[in-house]
Structure 1
C-alpha cells in the first residue's frame, strides 16, 4: 500500500475531512500515535490517557470533547491493514484545535543503529508533541551520521531517544534510565516493564554514560516498531546482541495487542 495521510479536524462534535492545502500554520501542543494492525492495537488506554493529560496541561480543559474526539478517531480507522494514526492538539490562529491524521504505517524494522545527539533541544521534555519538530531534526542529524535514531543525553547520561525509549539488559536484569529524568512517559517502555513484572524479571534504574553500556544488550522501543535491537552505536560503545530474547519479547508485545 502506498503511503498516504487523511486529515480530519474536530468541528462541532464531528470529524471533518480537511484538504491538506487548506491547512494553515499551526503549533503542535499534544500528539499521540500507535500502530494498528488489522484492527488491533497495543495499550490503547495508556495512549488515550497520555494524550488527554498532555492536552489538558497544554490548556485544553474540555475532557468530554477529548473523549469524544478520541472515539471518533478510533471509529475512522479501517479494521484491515496497518495504520499509524496520530491524534493531535494544535494551536491555529491562536485557538486550540483537535486534529486527527490517519496514516498508513511505514515499513517496520526489527533493528536500529543509533548515534549520540549533539545537544538536547527539548523545551517540554515530559510531554509528547511540542518538541516533535526539534526531535525530528535530531533524527535527521543522526541519519547523516549513518544512524536511524539519536540518543539524547542528560548531563552526559543516557536519557532517551529522539523517537524511542531506551532499555538495556545486563544478564537477566532489565534496566531503564532513571525514571526521574525529564522525558516522555513511553507507553511502549511501560508495557515492556509490565511484561517484565508479570514474568518476575528484575527491573532496575541505572544512570549511565554511553561508554558504560559497553557489552550490554540495548533496545530502542516505541509504539510503531515495538522492540528493536540496537545493533550499533556510531562512535559509541560496542553492544551485545541477544536475538532469541529480542524475538521472544517482540512476540509477547504482539500478543498483547487487542481489537478496539
Structure 2
C-alpha cells in the first residue's frame, strides 16, 4: 500500500506524512474507509465512530474528507494521538479480496480498549501476522469463555439458514460499520437477524463472513484447525453488490 502526502491544509490540523516519525504514535482513536471514485459506504457511521472518541475533531474530519481525490481507489485513515495531534493519511487502496482463511488467536487477548478503533491497531497487526504461517489471512479473537468475538481487522457474521447472525453486543469489540450496514440491510429486506454467543465449533456448517471497510464482505473459506464452513452459491456476490450499491458521494 502506498501513502501519499496531502496537499490540502486546515488550520494546521493535517500533518504531512514526512513528519509522522516525529509525533507520538500512541493512538487514542482512528478510522479508515474505502473510497472509490469519490463514493463510500456509510461514511456518516465512520464519522460518528471517530468523533465519539475525538469530539473536538469535526473541522479536522471535514478537511480530511475534502482532501480525498474524487477519482481512483483510496483507503484513507484519520488518527487522534495521545499528545492531541490529529493526522490524516491518504493511502491508495490495496487489492480488495473476496475470501479469507481464519485461524483462532490462542494467546492472551491483546486489546487494551476493545470497543475503540485505534489504540490496538498495532496489536491487531501482530496477531494477524502471527497466524499467517498457518495459512490464515485473519486472526479470530475469542472471549474468556471461548466465544467468537471478532477478527483482528474484521467483524464476523454468519448465516443460520436465512437468518443473519452475529456476536452478542455484550462481547466488547469494535463497532464494525460494514457489519452494521449488512445487518441493517438484512432487516430492510425483511430477513431475521440474531445475536448468539458461539464457540468456533458451533459454527460448523455455516456460511461465515469477515466484514471490513476495505474488503466489504469476504467469505471465510476455511478455519485452520476449526469448523468446516459452507457457502451458498451466489449469496456472497449478491450481498457484495448490495453493499456496493449503497455507496454514496462523500
TM-score range, shorter chain: over 0.9
| Candidates 143, 156, 159, aligned match of 1:166 | 156
Contact in 2 for aligned 1:9/1:18 (Cα 8 Å): no
Q: Post-superposition shift, 1:11? A: 7.0
Structure 2 equivalent of residue 110 of structure 1: 98
Contact in 1 for aligned 2:186/2:193 (Cα 8 Å): yes
Equivalent residue of 1:121, what SS?
A: coil
Structure 1 equivalent of residue 182 of structure 2: 192
Distance 2:212 2:163 in 1: 20
Structure 2 equivalent of residue 146 of structure 1: 135
Superposed CA offset, 1:37-81 (max 9, x none): 00100100000010000224xxxxx3xxx1111111111111111
Structure 2 equivalent of residue 59 of structure 1: none
Number of equivalenced pairs: 248
Contact in 1 for aligned 2:28/2:80 (Cα 8 Å): yes
Distance 1:27 1:122 in 2: 14
Matching of residue 125 in structure 1 with residue 124 in structure 2: no
- Give me the TM-score of the superposition, normalised by structure 1: 0.91
Matching of residue 99 in structure 1 with residue 98 in structure 2: no
Distance 2:167 2:20 in 1: 42
Distance 2:205 2:199 in 1: 13
Distance 1:230 1:246 in 2: 11
Question: RMSD across aligned C-alpha pairs, in angstroms?
Answer: 1.8
- Show structure 2 runs of 5+ residues with no match: none
Change (3 A) 1:128 1:9: farther
Q: Post-superposition shift, 1:18? A: 4.0
- Show structure 1 runs of 5+ residues with no match: 57-61
Q: Post-superposition shift, 1:241? A: 1.0
Superposed CA offset, 1:168-200 (max 9, x none): 001111100111111111100100011001101
Q: Post-superposition shift, 1:23? A: 2.8
Matching of residue 135 in structure 1 with residue 134 in structure 2: no
| Candidates 59, 63, 66, aligned match of 1:75 | 66
* More strand, by proportion: 1
Distance 2:214 2:184 in 1: 18
| Candidates 210, 213, 237, aligned match of 2:200 | 210
Change (3 A) 1:8 1:186: farther
Change (3 A) 1:13 1:158: same
Contact in 1 for aligned 2:165/2:194 (Cα 8 Å): yes
Q: Post-superposition shift, 1:4? A: 2.9
